[in-house]
Amino acid sequence: MGGATENALVQAPANSLKSSHQMHPALFRIVNTDWPALFAAIGIPMALVITALHSQVFPSASSKWEMFFALGVPSALICAGVLAWRCQRIIVLFRSGLISSGRIIQIQLSKDRGRIDFSYEWNGATRQSWQPVHQSKKVLALEVGQEVQLLVHPRKSGVAIIKHLFDAP
């Protein structure tokens, strides 16, 4: 009875055996590492403060808060939506993504942001993906050619992230 189960496991692709259900990303690491999430998180208060200050410094004939409500609040809501989307994307990969081994093929850093390209084997095919990053200690510690553990979307094999960049401590 145990032998049949073991044989079935050996024949299954390695990347389909491991699920990430027990892992959790840290919200701080998502915002600190994922460049679009960080930009959106900074954009929320910036949109509100800039439009509030603008209406105080440059009063117009109309209500001084008109610009705040017409431009600031919608801009902040857009930023909040982008932040929620980026966080949800990573949380979903931690909940239902499958673990695969990959290799970093390129790291492009400019100022405080960058892009990490990586490749991995998935269902017998070599795939490539990338992720936008904010420079952090974990990002700066990565090297081209380094093997990394990825979380791959179970139905969209081109969607993957480098797992340890977002791991909760």
**What are the sequence ranges of the domains in the chain?**
1-169
pTM of structure: 0.79
Helix (H) or strand (E) holding 23: none
Asked if the model's pLDDT at residue 165 lies above 50, the reply is yes
Distances (CA, A) of 164 to 1, 124, 155: 37, 24, 21
Please give the mean pLDDT across all residues of the chain. Answer: 85
The whole-number average pLDDT for the span 25-47 is 95
16-20, 28-32, 57-61, 110-114: least confident range: 16-20
Asked if the model's pLDDT at residue 57 lies above 80, the reply is no
The model's confidence at residue 159, banded by pLDDT at 50, 70 and 90, is very high
Asked if the model's pLDDT at residue 6 lies above 60, the reply is no
Task: Tell me which residue has tokens 């079935």.
Answer: 8
pLDDT tens track for 69-113: 888 999 999 999 999 999 999 999 999 999 999 999 999 999 999
Q: Give yes or no for a contact between 112 and 134, defined as CB atoms under 8 angstroms apart.
A: yes
Q: Give yes or no for a contact between 25 and 151, defined as CB atoms under 8 angstroms apart.
A: no
Q: What is the rounded distance in angstroms from the CA atom of residue 108 to the CA atom of residue 119?
A: 15
